[in-house]
Homo-oligomer: A and B are copies of this chain.
Amino acid sequence: MSIQELINQIHKKKSFLCIGLDVDLEKIPAYLLSEEDPIFAFNKAIIDATQQFAVAYKPNTAFYEACGIKGWKALQKTVDYLHDNYPEIYTIADAKRGDIGNTSRMYAKTFLLDMGFDSVTVAPYMGKDSVEPFLEFQNRHTILLALTSNEGAFDFQTKKVDDLELYKQVLTTSRTWKNSENLMYVVGATKAEYLQEIRKIVPNSFLLVPGVGAQGGKLEEVCKSGMNKDVGLLVNSARKIIYASDSSNFAEVAGAKAEVLQKQMEEELRQL
């Protein structure tokens, strides 16, 4: 999907909500466990109930790998279901991959071509030749970890590297890489005060912002500092939506939670 198509969808739905499909079999309603594919059954119900309020879905691969072969099948079924039924929706494989060049190329092909995701998250530690293979695909995006939402972000990411914090080095340096127009960045919402700094370096890039909700980041602050003329934000929420209820009406409750966020986003978009 092109960036313009994503922007169009945002304006049409008045939402920049991304829903994290971090499916844990211990947290989904117990009655789903008797389904042939409980993970997919859960995802399908969540997607159907929330899709009018969301522009993107982001399964985190860790949760699927944890279920072995069944997990990978459910992941593929989920992305196929999204593309077949809601082709305007943007899909993100939250995989945080990255390896030497020829190996990164395998990961890129797996997620962006074979599985058909619109984008994949990638870790920057191994530098240019570990990321550029992901950038080669037209209308596919690489969402590079810049400043993450966890405590450990302060171990290295915020440390000064040649007078510039590491996450700023990642932003600055990655802009020089080939096909860098296909980059987006992960910026944790728990660090909204950093967003202004980030916007100075990457004014036009889309930012994927996790941590609004369960991790405590605030939507209003994120928008104030992070929004650009193209909106430029995908705000992710996972647990607060998908695990809002564990009873038989879980999907309906998830839909209501997503709608609350969508309404807040509509308000923010009005100020654009």
Chain A residues at the B interface, C-beta cutoff of 8 Å: 22, 24, 60, 62-63, 65-66, 68-69, 72-73, 76, 96-101, 103-104, 106-107, 109-110, 114, 123-131, 145, 148-157, 159-162, 166, 169-170, 173
Complex-state Cα separation, A106 to B109, whole angstroms:
24
Contact partners of A106 in chain B: CB under 8 A:
24, 62-63, 65-66
Q: How far is the CB of A209 from chain B (nearest CB, A)?
A: 14
Kindly report which residue of chain B lies nearest to residue A215, judged by CB atoms: B100
Partner of A156, one of B72, B76, B150, B173: B173
Contact partners of A98 in chain B: CB under 8 A:
96, 123
- Given the known interface contacts A152-B129, A153-B127, A155-B127, the answer about A69 and B73 at a Cβ–Cβ threshold of 8 Å is yes
Complex-state Cα separation, A103 to B60, whole angstroms:
8
Contact partners of A131 in chain B: CB under 8 A:
152
In the complex, the answer to whether A129 meets B151 with C-beta atoms within 8 Å is yes
In the complex, the answer to whether A62 meets B173 with C-beta atoms within 8 Å is no
In the complex, the answer to whether A126 meets B148 with C-beta atoms within 8 Å is yes
Kindly report which residue of chain B lies nearest to residue A170, judged by CB atoms: B156
Q: How far is the CB of A219 from chain B (nearest CB, A)?
A: 19
Kindly report which residue of chain B lies nearest to residue A164, judged by CB atoms: B159
Contact partners of A153 in chain B: CB under 8 A:
126-127
Contact partners of A62 in chain B: CB under 8 A:
97, 99, 103-104, 106-107, 110
Contact partners of A145 in chain B: CB under 8 A:
125-126
The list of the 3 closest CB pairs from A to B, nearest first, reads A127-B152, A127-B155, A62-B106
Contact partners of A128 in chain B: CB under 8 A:
151-152, 155
Contact partners of A154 in chain B: CB under 8 A:
127
Complex-state Cα separation, A271 to B68, whole angstroms:
45
In the complex, the answer to whether B156 meets A159 with C-beta atoms within 8 Å is no
In the complex, the answer to whether A110 meets B66 with C-beta atoms within 8 Å is yes
Q: How far is the CB of A2 from chain B (nearest CB, A)?
A: 26
Contact partners of A124 in chain B: CB under 8 A:
125, 155-156
Q: How far is the CB of A228 from chain B (nearest CB, A)?
A: 25
Q: List 19 A-B contacts (CB under 8 A).
A: A62-B110, A68-B110, A68-B114, A69-B69, A96-B98, A96-B123, A100-B148, A123-B123, A123-B125, A124-B156, A126-B152, A127-B153, A127-B154, A127-B157, A128-B152, A130-B148, A130-B150, A156-B173, A161-B161
